Amino acid sequence: MKYIFQINLENKMNILLVEPNFPYPNKSKNKANQVHKNFVPIALLKFAALHKAKRDKVKLIRGKITRGDIGFVPDEIYVTSIFTYWSSYVWDCLSYYRQLYPHALIRLGGIYATLHSDKQKFRFLTKKFKVLVYKGINQEAEKYSPDYSVLPPVDYHATHMMRGCIRKCNFCGTWKLEPERTNKSKDEIINELTKIGKTKVIFYDNNILANPNIKEILKEFINFRVDGKPVIFESQSGFDGRLLEKNPELANLIRKARFQNVRIAWDNGLEDKYSVRKQVDILIKAGYAPKDISIFMIYNFVIPYEDMLKKIKSCRERGVQITDCRYRPLDIDYDNYNPHMRDGQLSGSYYIHEKTGWTDEKIRDFRSKVRKHNIWVRYAKDKGKEYDNKMEKWSAINNTYKFFNLGRPPHMEQIEKSKYLQSKIRLLNKIKSICKSNNLNEKNLVSYSIDELEKIVNEYENQDQIQTLQNQEICLV
């Protein structure tokens, strides 16, 4: 199918980069800024650099905004996609911007676009909205470093040390998305980090230790500085524990290179119990505390619920945390799971791997047990205590304080005795909910009184009432 678009033939073009309003989890530790809370859209940032090099005018936005806020009529619109089960956010954006700019050339890329490009529904919708699809990695844009100037201030650099993976896990799409393995050399990655000049770096590699240059790179990281300051690293997808077992020296280098939030995976069954323990011990010997190590676990998949509980027990014995990952097949393009519906959801609301006995009840119970386990590891284990509900309540309060950069909250005993603190926390939770639901900036509320907090809540509630009345008037018209 060929589409005819009105394209600006001058040297400069107007380029609009769009990240749909994906429902990123609120608990992420890696907030980039007030808008892109969890993941900076690396591909779009590279396209920004590419088009600026061509002297084009570039703007990056999140979700749906008005013509006035965009500020120009785009010649081309790039829309990114990530998880396949968040496809509705992609099509919502494409529908909106196709109506807003009927003559613009719209390009769609990313994970969902690559994995579903041959699906009948996908082809129908791309035709409907006159969208051009790019599959896989755009090699022209890949040559550029992300341009962070199109975002509010971001304190970390997101990058890849390699593309592709040595594994072909049946639940993962990396080997389909990145079929060709490419590896950066020590000089390439050091030159990149020096040019970017940030003291926090997060690698999005799917198997960072598989880079044949990894030892040389890690050794270089140990003494690497930016403006005299040491750089902190993180591997978002964790480390391949099997490669750590083969070469324990890597753990020492990872530790010396200041990698934080260390994670390894336990994807298989109980037969890997002692292997995973050995991997944990290697990291502990390298200097990591058990509570600072987390184990990726994929559930609602081929390993039955009963065996997954035994895996939790094994993690308790070693005192490590768990990062639980609910399985959703790559060909699924929806997910309406709601963690707050404690009474359960109707069949078909989201994917349940019934072949191995998983049910809605078991999924919720497993998540609950993982949450309680992690709270115990973080707050009780080292004190010789067991989990109790007060710890979970305090953990929730702690997350609220973190959200507003308020530091560490008082002890639960103090909170229970103080009506003032209880009122303040209640209002903070209201403001936090308002901020999240409306994509508002978090405020620094250290010095705010109860009256001032109530004023903030009332202002937002009044705005919501006004907006509701306006919407009702529009409907009546």
Return the DSSP state at 148.
Answer: G
Q: Evaluate whether 93 touches 79 at the Cβ level (below 8 Å).
A: yes
Residue with tokens 């920004």: 48
Q: How many CB atoms lie under 10 A from the CB of residue 81? A: 26
pTM > 0.75: yes
Nearest Cα to Cα of residue 279 among 263, 297, 258:
263
Task: Determine which of 295-309, 316-330, 370-384, 450-464 has the lowest per-residue pLDDT on average.
Answer: 450-464
Q: Per-residue pLDDT averaged across 14-19, rounded?
A: 98
Share of the chain above pLDDT 90, in %: 72
User: What digits encode the pLDDT tens for the residues 349-371?
Assistant: 999 999 999 999 999 999 999 99
Report pLDDT for 208: 97
CA atoms of 304 and 291, how far apart (whole Å): 26
Q: Evaluate whether 106 touches 129 at the Cβ level (below 8 Å).
A: yes
- Bridge partners of 233, per DSSP, are 201, 259
The amino acid that residue 276 corresponds to is V
H or E, element range at 445:
none
User: What digits encode the pLDDT tens for the residues 52-97?
Assistant: 999 999 999 999 999 999 999 999 999 999 999 999 999 999 999 9
Question: What is the CATH code for 152-388?
Answer: 3.20.20
Domain spans in the chain, listed from the N-terminal domain onward: 14-140, 152-388, 394-465
Residue with tokens 């308790």: 316
CA atoms of 442 and 143, how far apart (whole Å): 35
Report pLDDT for 452: 75
- Pick from 30-34, 148-152, 405-409 the range whose average pLDDT is largest: 148-152
Report pLDDT for 10: 55
Apex CA 473: angle with CA 470 and CA 477, to 5°? 140
Tokens of 385: 């205590």
Q: Is the pLDDT of residue 434 over 80?
A: no
Report pLDDT for 4: 46
User: What digits encode the pLDDT tens for the residues 216-255?
Assistant: 999 999 999 999 999 999 999 999 999 999 999 999 999 9
Distances in whole angstroms, Cα of residue 272 to Cα of each of 276, 278, 289 = 6, 10, 22
Residue with tokens 């990313």: 110
The amino acid that residue 84 corresponds to is T
The amino acid that residue 33 corresponds to is N
Q: What is the CA radius of gyration of the chain?
A: 24
Q: Is the pLDDT of residue 462 over 90?
A: no
Residue with tokens 């749909």: 20
Task: Determine which of 143-157, 213-227, 456-470 has the lowest per-residue pLDDT on average.
Answer: 456-470
Report pLDDT for 472: 35
Superfamily of domain 14-140: Cobalamin-binding domain (3.40.50.280)
Report pLDDT for 46: 97
Q: Evaluate whether 152 touches 34 at the Cβ level (below 8 Å).
A: yes
Tokens of 336: 């309406």
CA atoms of 470 and 456, how far apart (whole Å): 21
User: What digits encode the pLDDT tens for the residues 94-140?
Assistant: 999 999 999 999 999 999 999 999 999 999 999 999 999 999 999 99
Task: Determine which of 114-123, 271-280, 392-401, 428-437 has the lowest per-residue pLDDT on average.
Answer: 428-437
Q: Evaluate whether 154 touches 33 at the Cβ level (below 8 Å).
A: yes
Q: Evaluate whether 178 touches 165 at the Cβ level (below 8 Å).
A: yes
Report pLDDT for 7: 46
Work out whether strand 182-183 and strand 162-163 pair parallel, antiparallel, or are unpaired. Answer: antiparallel
Tokens of 171: 């639940």
CA atoms of 218 and 207, how far apart (whole Å): 15
- Return all residues near 176 (Cβ < 8 A) that are at least 6 apart: 114, 115
Q: Which runs of consecutive H residues, i.e. helices, occur in 257-384?
A: 273-286, 305-318, 360-379
Q: Per-residue pLDDT averaged across 298-321, rounded?
A: 98
Nearest Cα to Cα of residue 19 among 82, 70, 66, 69:
82
User: What digits encode the pLDDT tens for the residues 177-203?
Assistant: 999 999 999 999 999 999 999 999 999
Average pLDDT value over all residues in the chain: 89
Buried b (16+ CB within 10 A) or exposed e, 409-431: beebeebeeeeeeeebbebbebb
Q: Per-residue pLDDT averaged across 403-407, rounded?
A: 86
Q: Evaluate whether 97 touches 77 at the Cβ level (below 8 Å).
A: yes
Report pLDDT for 176: 86
